[in-house]
Structure 1
Amino acid sequence: MLRFLKGFGLFTAAVLGVAASPAHAAGDLLVAPTRVILDGSRGTEVVLNNIGAEPATYRISLEIKRMTAAGGLDEIAEDHASAAEKAALGMIAFSPRRVTLPPNQPQVIRVGVRVPEGTPPGEYRAHMLFRAVPDAVVAASEGAKPASGGVSIALTPIYGITIPVIVRVGDLGAEATIGEAWISEGTDGPAFNFDLSRTGSRSVYGDIEVTRAGAPEPLLVARGIAVYPEVGARQVSLRVPPELAAKLKGPVRIRYTEDREIGGGTIDTADRVVK
């Protein structure tokens, strides 16, 4: 069974009752936590768990991704990386780089950081990629010989997931402002959209809650909404069922709060009329 939640745009958008996911899932791999912040001196751990029925091998690497105004993440080749992006790759160390996990067997990936002396204050970020290695590749790397007597071609999907690894140097701060909100219709169904702008020297990250006066519960909850320093603003677009899209139209209050693990304080609140 495939459970795939897209990378940095990971969110859970649903009627109240859907909790934040504590781990990302790709294929049969679970990864926790979904976001790592390093203060420039102390390391941490990321835990992998194979929830499938067969052993699986995963390769771990770092890559550079940049946020777009639409909220997506573009992969950037190292040749086209900025000085800060290259610096992030050099600061972050991790081990091991390849693991084979039996079913229901967790594995700890140790993540460390070394900030060179004289590094300018700022937020430095790379994305840790966990990618499944197909059985055929594993067999070939272990010296297995291909079967004789013919040629066969098999298309094997390769699942991967990324989590941001953020290094913060110096005393950084940021603020965010919620802009206009609206419902759009697309080929995948309706979506609840709003603009989210950021100022300051670091990213913002948190949860969105949409409420209406007189309603006992929030209409919509979305977890893990971020704006990275490379963009001053982005559009957040959350697909919703048609019946929920109809309920969201009209006057609502949108509240953006910090991640609950760091206190859940309010970042911004806005009253909007959704059209």
Structure 2
Amino acid sequence: MFRFLKALGLLTAAALGAAAVPVHAAGDLLVAPTRLILDGSRGTEVVLNNIGSEPATYRISLEIKRMTTAGGLDEIAEENVTPAERAALDMIVFSPRRVTLPPNQPQVVRVGVRVPAGLPAGEYRAHMLFRAVPDAVPVAEAKPASTSVSIALTPIYGITIPVIVRVGDLGAEASIGEAWVSEGAGGPAFNFDLARTGNRSVYGDIEVTRPGVAEPLLVARGIAVYPEVAARTVSLRVPEEVAAKLQGPVRIRYSEDREIGGGTIDEAERVVK
């Protein structure tokens, strides 16, 4: 239980009162941790928690997603996966594949990997999907014939987390590019380019500060660049008052996840327009 609560702490971030973080929660389901890295030596686990007031059932499966240069993740149909993506689907094992969670009762899903002999060095990734299974709806009592048509829509919630298998001696570096503030239909956003080199993904936290100001203007957790893209644009929604403060000279620091030491990956000074 302590591990679950500790992982949930990673789901929070502040940007002068505004959150700019990928939150792994949907409906009444919380999932922790938000990513897994396996090296073949031992397995790990994911903890699920139903924070609703009624029992809920979830189906667990693996799927392939590819990052876009805009930072999104496109779902890839199974017939279109590459050999490396197929290898990820085949080597990642987990149990159970379906769970029914009573309210506020954590459930452990055990995850392991079986790396086949001769697998080339590299980073292999699939995404674990936790999808709600809607309750069965009783057949309504027969009603008089009618010419009208009624449609009921039931939302089906799902969460995905990356499961990464690293084989061999891998490394990567990242560099921060240009930064700017934009205005969109959903409000202002702080944007910057993030490039990656090497044969694995990079992952970490972003902190934006202003010269002479101790308190960060913006903190964002869990920013990744996956191997299928050499660079991506990071876009973080911010309130109007934060957007105004972000314009001008700032320092952007990209650091490793705090769980592995928080070392600096890259740091850059930029003048934001």
TM-score (norm 2): 0.90
Does the 8 Å CA contact 1:208/1:255 hold for their aligned counterparts? yes
> Relative to 1, partners in 2 of residues 1:104 and 1:22: Cα closer, same or farther, differing over 3 Å?
farther
CA contact (8 A) 1:13 1:238 kept: no
Cα offsets for 1:124-172 (capped at 9, x unmatched) = 0000000001112xx6xxxxx6233149642110000100000000010
Aligned partner of residue 135 in structure 1, secondary structure: coil
Alpha carbons 1:22, 1:32 under 8 Å: kept: no
In structure 1, the partner of 2:203 is: 205
Alignment partner, residue 241 of structure 2: 243
Aligned to 2:5: none
- Map 1:109-258 → 2, pairs under 5 A: 109-136=109-136, 146-150=139-143, 153-258=151-256
- Mean Cα deviation higher: 84-93 or 145-154: 145-154
Cα-Cα RMSD: 2.0
- Equivalent residues in 2 for 1:68-87, closer than 5 Å: 68-87=68-87
Amino acid at match of 2:162: P
Code of the residue aligned with 1:26 in structure 2: it is A
Deviations along 1:39-76, one digit per CA (max 9) or x if unpaired, are 12311010101000000000000000000000000000
* Paired position in structure 2 for 1:5: none
Secondary structure (helix, strand or coil) at the match of 1:207 reads: strand
Partner of 2:58: 58
Residues 6-25 of structure 1 deviation map (CA, whole Å, 9 limit, x = unaligned): xxxx9866425678979721
Q: Given that residues 20 and 237 in structure 2 are in contact (C-alpha distance below 8 angstroms), is that contact kept between their aligned partners in structure 1?
A: no
CA distance in 1, matches of 2:57, 2:196: 39
CA contact (8 A) 1:178 1:197 kept: yes
Identity of aligned residues (%): 83
Work out whether residues 64 and 126 of structure 2, in 8 Å CA contact, stay in contact via their aligned partners in 1: yes
Gap change, CA 1:239 and 1:224, over 3 Å in 2: same
| Alignment correspondent of 1:105 | 105
Q: Structure 1: where are the runs of 5+ without partners?
A: 1-9, 140-144
Aligned partners of 1:13 and 1:240 also within 8 Å? no
Deviations 1:219-257 (A, max 9, x none): 110110000000000000001111110100000000000
Q: Deviations over 1:74-129 (max 9, x none)?
A: 00011110110000000101111111111111111010100000000000000000
Kept in 2: contact 1:23–1:33 (CA 8 A): no
Give unpaired runs (5+ residues) of structure 2: 1-9, 144-148
1:125 partner amino acid:
R
- State the distance in 2 between where 1:101 and 1:12 align: 24
**C-alpha distance in structure 1 between counterparts of 2:156 and 2:123, whole Å:** 31
Q: Aligned partner of 1:258: which letter?
A: E
Size of the alignment, in residue pairs?
259
Task: Assess if the C-alpha contact under 8 Å between 1:65 and 1:126 holds in 2.
Answer: yes
Name the amino acid aligned to 1:29. L
Partner residue, 1:24 = 24
Aligned amino acid, residue 216 of structure 2? P
Contact kept, 8 Å, 1:13 with 1:239, in 2: the verdict is no
Contact kept? 2:207, 2:254, Cα under 8 Å: yes
The residue type equivalent to 2:125 in the other structure is R
- Label 1:204 to 1:189 Cα distance change in 2 as closer, same or farther (>3 A): same
